[in-house]
Chain A
Amino acid sequence: AQTVTQSQPEMSVQEAETVTLSCTYDTSESDYYLFWYKQPPSRQMILVIRQEAYKQQNATENRFSVNFQKAAKSFSLKISDSQLGDAAMYFCAYRSPGVYGGSQGNLIFGKGTKLSVKP
């Protein structure tokens, strides 16, 4: 079974600085999807960025980018120019392509990293 590990329960960054959140995963599959979700104090789960395993190019969304290392099974999130609104829980998640009715396509989450942003 696939697993997702976030080794940093908490992180802190100064406003306007850059921070990197780590995520590793375990799988025997060659094709899959990876995600970072943000959960602010409002509790809403917000999709930040996604990566398809067959694409070598790292995904980027404005100030958010990933470092996807397929061989190392690593998927870190870099937040540039950190803002106070970036303070949240961040979850790394994995999903295999899945088949109709099968459980393989379900989203598997890490335990999360709580990010604090200092003014």
Chain B
Amino acid sequence: DAGITQSPRHKVTETGTPVTLRCHQTENHRYMYWYRQDPGHGLRLIHYSYGVKDTDKGEVSDGYSVSRSKTEDFLLTLESATSSQTSVYFCAIRRTGEDGYTFGSGTRLTVV
């Protein structure tokens, strides 16, 4: 749907392990975003990208890194997962000429 897919859809991992979430788009848009959603907090921006190898931090970037080696893929890595990173993670794209974002279906990550 809308040319954006996230994988995996669900993941359970142990504290201290690295985790990588993938966002893939088929429409060649420049802007891509990673948000996390937590009860009582809405969606908060982790990192964003405005082109290949062009990324920047968002509001809650500590403990996360991203990479964008090609236009279609935006990877989010939790370098050493902690229980506070248990959350639902959303990827989004901004289509050229549009103001809003299109979101992926989200990844529910549980860190035990």
Contacts and interface: CB of A to CB of B under 8 A. Distances in A.
A95 B98 CA distance: 12
Interface in A75-106: 91, 93, 95, 100-101, 103, 105-106
B42 interface: yes
Interface residues on A, range: 20 to 34
Main secondary structure of the interface of B (DSSP, over half): strand
B103 interface: yes
Given A50-B99, A103-B58, A106-B48, A45 B42 contact: no
Interface in A13-49: 33, 35, 43-45, 47
Nearest to B41: A111
B40 A43 contact: no
Interface string A97-119: 00011010111111110000000
Q: Which 10 A-B pairs have the closest CB atoms?
A: A45-B103, A109-B42, A111-B42, A109-B43, A33-B99, A43-B106, A47-B100, A101-B50, A112-B42, A35-B100
Interface of A: 6, 33, 35, 43-45, 47, 50, 52, 91, 93, 95, 100-101, 103, 105-112
Interface of B: 31, 33, 35, 40-45, 48, 50, 54, 56, 58, 88, 90, 92, 94, 99-103, 105-106
